Amino acid sequence: MIVNVENPVLEIHDLTVTYSRKPVLWGVDLTLPKGSLVGIIGPNGAGKSTLIKAAMDLIPKSSGWVEIFGEDLKKVRKKISYVPQRESVDWDFPASVRDVVVMGRYADIGLFKRPRKADYEAADYALKQVKLSEFSNRQISQLSGGQQQRVFLARALAQQADLYFMDEPFAGVDAATEKAIINILKQMSEQGKTVVVVHHDLQTVTKYFDWLVQLNTRLVASGPIEQVFTQELLQETYGGKLTLLSDVSTLMHTQQLPVRDKT
């Protein structure tokens, strides 16, 4: 089931990405509405991270095109922020927490220009939002995994973008950090920001997101959570790989979601 929206923040058409001639994404078409908190789910190897990287032109496309805010990416890059997986970052890089957050301002100030007072103020405010002000001068290598994830979120917040791509921001963090992060993401959505999150925990999907994308190389579903988070579409997305399949029916009933979709 694919729900299309008018005047989408993100529009993807016929997107195919291949690695070593093997398709990782195949013929993906979708649109996302402004101000939505979007979850991308699917089994390992389904192309979730590849989708957001291809949307940001971080990896080459085999075919297809992407428009963001109705424009080519090059024209709107400053409006977009990306939070990669924590494991993909060299945390031994000698930089303070504040320095890393200020990096989120470089799209605005330029890579080789010195940050201004306003840039440091934006960074300090972002650190306050994620409750890391007291760690401002600490080296990032000295932080816990959950604290490092919050630093990355602060860097994204400091950028003051309109569209955020986040690759598994809840991976490896404790429950308190996860709660803090999702509360911030919901606030961003309420302010009209669009947040797209690669996610793996089916138990929290309905609590966290209002729009859901289900992938398994091909796009299985994209639409409002109450329409596409169904047992039928989860089965199609995960197939035999869904280890939680025996619990899905219970999950549907306890959260009062439709067991199947007939529309």
Q: Are strands 211-216 and 37-41 parallel, antiparallel or unpaired?
A: parallel
Residue 198's SS3 state is strand
Q: Degrees (nearest 5) of the Cα angle 17, 82, 126?
A: 170
pLDDT, mean of residues 221-241: 87
Residue 125 lies in a domain: yes
Residue-number span of the structural domain to which 26 is assigned = 10-254
d(CA 218, CA 244): 21
Phi-psi region of 42 (alpha: psi -120 to 50; beta: other; left: phi over 0): left
Q: Which of 5-9, 207-211, 243-247 has the lowest mean pLDDT?
A: 243-247
Residue 260 lies in a domain: no
d(CA 136, CA 122): 13
> Given pLDDT bands bounded at 50, 70 and 90, which one contains residue 195?
very high
Q: Are strands 163-167 and 80-83 parallel, antiparallel or unpaired?
A: parallel
Give the total number of structural domains in the chain.
Answer: 1
What pLDDT digit, counting tens, does each position of 59-108 carry?
A: 999 999 999 998 888 888 888 988 887 666 666 677 888 888 888 776 66
Residue 139 lies in a domain: yes
CATH number assigned to the domain comprising residue 183: 3.40.50.300
Asked if the model's pLDDT at residue 154 lies above 50, the reply is yes
> Given pLDDT bands bounded at 50, 70 and 90, which one contains residue 199?
very high
> Given pLDDT bands bounded at 50, 70 and 90, which one contains residue 222?
very high
d(CA 11, CA 30): 6
Report yes or no: 27 and 6 within 8 Å, Cβ to Cβ: no
Q: Going by C-beta distance under 8 Å and a sequence separation of 6 or more, which residues neighbour residue 170?
A: 149, 178, 181, 182, 199, 201
